[in-house]
């Protein structure tokens, strides 16, 4: 089965010669091409079971590489596990009209920051007006559709309730299967995002847009449409929240498991068509086009795609969670069953142990020994 690294090594040079790329796209492409190859360097590993030593190539650790997200995801989940509350959790998704895609494509830092901020603040504003409670939420940016098209949207995980305005009471949602009216959320989200985009236009921040894209007409055309926000069924409990987060937080545009074949300059991959009863389909496209679609979703450097709002905001999260637990009568963090850890297999004895391979110094080279 092919993987993204193989495709990048085969057609990456051709892509760079024929297509325009940003510095961060070139950096991601270089990392993916060389991930776990000789270029990245290597270490010798020793199996604790049989004592055999073998060479391991280092990973690139680029956040756009599908092979390098498991470790970062596990560390992040372990930290979030300690912050979950014994309340129902809700999943809300904010989407934008397709006509805003050119702004997202040519001005990603500005657009995606405004998108995340508008989604988080819409939840806080509507929660305060409808529940008289100060909510908290975790917002995760995704920029892709299943077929690698540009589809910016924000997934939000929201605890079912919030603090009273004076911070002395926990106010639960009135219906455990219903958080907030989605039409009100959609209109508030539209108001906040278009306000940010109009402000950016007044300050001349859309200079990278091509001449064929008129920012004023694009923003006003989108503002005249009805936007879609939808709330998925609530999670079964805090443990189901972790299972969801493990799938969504450190995901990249396509995983290697979805790439079925790379042959004759064509990439065949599978995707799920949500408009057709979630049926799994296959697409075969040119490798250059495949890389173009993938690189559309490489985020700018240091851009934070997971953000926190309300009582989950970074500066106040620890003390607010302690306060809420005391108000709920649950002072200790929730306990969850241990999640399976990735296994490292020894190529000789095939012993499957998480820490079965200990890193040791490589032996000295022949020329240095001489």
With a cut of 90, say whether residue 155 has pLDDT above it.
yes
Confidence band of 353 (pLDDT split at 50, 70, 90): low
Whole-angstrom Cα distance, residue 307 to residue 309? 7
Domains of the chain: 4-64+343-369 (no CATH), 70-253+296-328 (3.40.1310)
How confident is the model over 314-336, as a mean pLDDT?
Answer: 84
Q: What is the DSSP string of 110-174?
A: HHHHHHHHHHHHHHHHHHHHHTSSB-EEEEEEEEE-TTS-EEEEEEEEEESEEE-TTSS-EEE-S
With a cut of 80, say whether residue 237 has pLDDT above it.
no
With a cut of 90, say whether residue 229 has pLDDT above it.
yes
Lookup: tokens for 112: 């995606």
The answer to whether the CB of 355 falls within 8 A of the CB of 46 is no
Confidence band of 334 (pLDDT split at 50, 70, 90): low
3-class SS of residue 233: coil
Q: What percent of the chain has pLDDT over 90?
A: 60
**Residues sharing a CB contact under 8 Å with residue 285, sequence separation 6 or more, in sequence order:** 266, 267, 293
Q: Work out the angle between the directed axes of helices 182-202 and 108-130 (0-180°, nearest 10).
A: 140
Q: How far apart are the first and last CA of the chain?
A: 43
pLDDT at position 73 is 76
Taking all residues of the chain, what is their mean pLDDT, rounded to a whole number? Answer: 87
Q: Work out the angle between the directed axes of helices 287-295 and 4-18 (0-180°, nearest 10).
A: 90
CA neighbours closer than 13 Å in the CB half-sphere of residue 177: 1
């Amino acid at each position: 089965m092919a993987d993204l690294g193989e495709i990048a090594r085969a057609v990456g040079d051709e892509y760079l010669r024929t297509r325009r790329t940003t510095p961060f796209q070139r950096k991601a492409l270089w990392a993916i091409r060389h991930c776990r190859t000789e270029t990245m360097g290597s270490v010798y590993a020793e199996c604790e079971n049989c004592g055999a030593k073998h060479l391991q190539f280092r990973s690139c650790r680029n956040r756009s590489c599908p092979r390098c997200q498991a470790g970062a995801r596990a560390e992040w989940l372990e930290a979030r596990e300690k912050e979950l509350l014994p309340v129902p959790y809700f999943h809300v998704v904010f989407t934008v009209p397709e006509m805003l895609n050119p702004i997202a494509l040519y001005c990603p830092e500005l657009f995606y920051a405004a998108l995340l901020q508008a989604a988080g603040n819409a939840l806080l504003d509507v929660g305060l007006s409808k529940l008289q409670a100060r909510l908290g939420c975790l917002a995760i940016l995704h920029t892709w559709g299943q077929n690698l098209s540009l589809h910016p949207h924000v997934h939000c995980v929201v605890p079912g309730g919030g603090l009273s305005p004076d911070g002395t009471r926990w106010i639960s949602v009135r219906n455990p299967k219903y958080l907030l009216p989605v039409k009100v959320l959609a209109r508030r989200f539209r108001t906040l995002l278009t306000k940010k985009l109009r402000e950016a236009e007044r300050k001349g921040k859309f200079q990278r847009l091509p001449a064929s894209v008129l920012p004023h007409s694009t923003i006003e055309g989108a503002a005249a449409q009805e936007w879609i926000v939808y709330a998925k069924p609530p999670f079964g409990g805090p443990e189901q929240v972790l299972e969801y987060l493990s799938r969504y937080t450190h995901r990249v545009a396509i995983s290697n498991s979805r790439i079925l074949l790379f042959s004759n300059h064509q990439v065949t991959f599978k995707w799920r068509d949500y408009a057709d009863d979630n049926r799994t389909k296959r697409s075969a496209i040119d490798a250059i086009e495949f890389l173009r679609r993938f690189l559309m979703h490489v985020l700018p450097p240091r851009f934070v795609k997971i953000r926190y709002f309300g009582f989950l905001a970074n500066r106040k999260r620890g003390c607010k969670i302690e306060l809420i637990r005391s108000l709920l009568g649950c002072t200790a963090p929730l306990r969850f069953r241990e999640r399976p850890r990735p296994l490292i297999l020894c190529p000789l004895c095939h012993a499957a142990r998480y820490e079965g391979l200990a890193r040791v110094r490589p032996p000295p080279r022949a020329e240095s020994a001489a």
